[in-house]
Amino acid sequence: MIKPHGSDTLMPLFVYDSEKHHALMKEAEGLPSVVISSAAAGNAVMMGGGYFTPLTGYMNVADAMGCAEKMMTTSGVFFPVPVVNLLENVDAIKDAKRIALRDPNMEGNPVIAIQDVEAIEEFTPEQMETMTQKVYGTTDSEHPGVAAFNSVGRFCVSGPIQVLHFSYFQDDFPDTFRTAVEIRNEIAERGWKKVVAFQTRNPMHLAHEELCHMAMDRLGCDGLVIHMLLGKLKPGDIPAPVRDAAIRKMVELYFPPNSAMVTGYGFDMLYAGPREAVLHALFRQNMGATHFIIGRDHAGVGDYYGAFDAQTIFDNDVPEGALEIEIFRADHTAWSKKLNKVVMMCEAPDHAKEDFVLLSGTKVREMLGQGIAPPKEFSRPEVAQILIDYYQSLNH
């Protein structure tokens, strides 16, 4: 099985021992505490589940700047984005050595982790700008990732953490939320050797389904892990339970038994394009995937990134051997009217745009809202029905 990133074994920071967990929860009641940002809570969940192996906690300024500028911590660990706990105000934890971190995304702000405070430093405005530019490729405040990153403060609280809760993800998505530990274990149980991962935050159309089949066939994979983002979405996105039901229906009907797993992870989208694609590859390696599909404008938003920047970053900027996972490069896939099947558009050079069945997201939402199933060349009828029911429920 593929090794975790930067370590021989996975390093989940969640405290699984129940006695120890109980003692830490008790200790947390007496510690100085602070409500952290949604991004920092997402980082805690990812570190808790082992996805961010080999990190042991939040980075300090030097490590964060190293990861932003050259994807490397000061000790030489490859990591494509800073993983930080940024706060606007640190008065409540000024001289504390240990603090309780509270979850901003749950009622009553329960404790999500305990942190040993190694340092409290402040990023300069110039450093914030450098990090923003390097990670997001822009400093435009209209970019949702840039806006979120620059809205949470400049105080950087660094040090190791012990994670006590997986936020709302485990409670709200018990059937889908999985840690890297659990996915690794299940891959081993299923006896899969070659495993390709597919990232999604939407229901899967026929083109996505066929892309997964294509990748499995060409790579000779035993298994596919459909790994969906369960964090905060943009307005208008389809809620996770509906998306979950649609994807499960597709797998049940159109994938052979024991060939696909439907799972999810808790994190907020960064919309950081190429850098986020590298982060996605890194944590897929940690969960046991040997290959990862990266398509056109992966993790992008608006027109901030070139169509294939998220693929070329692996050639140009990721150091040789930094990651063991391999990338399966995909172009847009769509139904070809000439060939009567789904193809990668780059592999059909003799096609014009009108030779493909292409529908915009807006158009599809309109159809579903009117109770009309998209053409079978675009969407499986059983999947479309689940989405139609959802959109119809909004109108009543």
CATH class of 175-265+269-395: alpha beta
Give the residue extent of every domain in the chain.
18-166, 175-265+269-395
Distance CA(86)–CA(77), nearest Å, equals: 21
Q: Average pLDDT of 233-261?
A: 89
**Helix extents (H) in 50-166:** 61-70, 125-136, 144-149
Residues noted as catalytic: 201-202
C-alpha distances in Å from residue 325, one per residue of 191, 259, 289, 350:
18, 19, 7, 33
Higher per-residue confidence, 247 vs 241: 247
Condensed to tens digits (0 to 9), the pLDDT of residues 304-343 reads: 999 999 999 999 999 999 999 999 999 999 999 999 999 9
pLDDT digit string (tens) for 152-181? 999 999 999 999 999 999 998 898 999 999
What CATH superfamily classification does 18-166 receive?
A: Sulfate adenylyltransferase (3.10.400.10)
pLDDT score of 370: 92
90-141 pLDDT tens trace? 999 999 999 999 999 999 999 999 999 999 999 999 999 999 999 999 999 9
pLDDT digits (tens, 9 = 90+) for 16-67: 999 999 999 999 999 999 999 999 999 999 999 999 999 999 999 999 999 9
What average pLDDT does range 192-206 have in this prediction? 94
**Is there a common fold for 18-166 and 175-265+269-395?**
no
Provide the residue count of the chain. Answer: 396
Q: What is the mean pLDDT of the chain?
A: 95
SS3 assignment for 190-256: HCCCCEEEEEECCCCCHHHHHHHHHHHHHHCCCEEEEEEECCCCCCCCCCHHHHHHHHHHHHHHHCC
Helix (H, G, I), strand (E, B) or coil at 291: strand
Q: What is the pLDDT of residue 240?
A: 81
Contact 298, 277 (CB under 8 A): yes
Q: How far apart are the first and last CA of the chain?
A: 50
Task: Return left, alpha or beta for 312; rule: phi > 0 is left, psi -120 to 50 is alpha, else beta.
Answer: alpha
Q: Over range 254-272, report the average pLDDT.
A: 95
Q: How far is 38 from 270, CA to CA, in rounded Å?
A: 11
Q: Is the pLDDT of residue 233 over 70?
A: no
- Residues of the chain with pLDDT > 90, as a percent, come to 90
Cβ(64)–Cβ(124) below 8 Å: no
β pairing state of 155-163 and 57-58? antiparallel
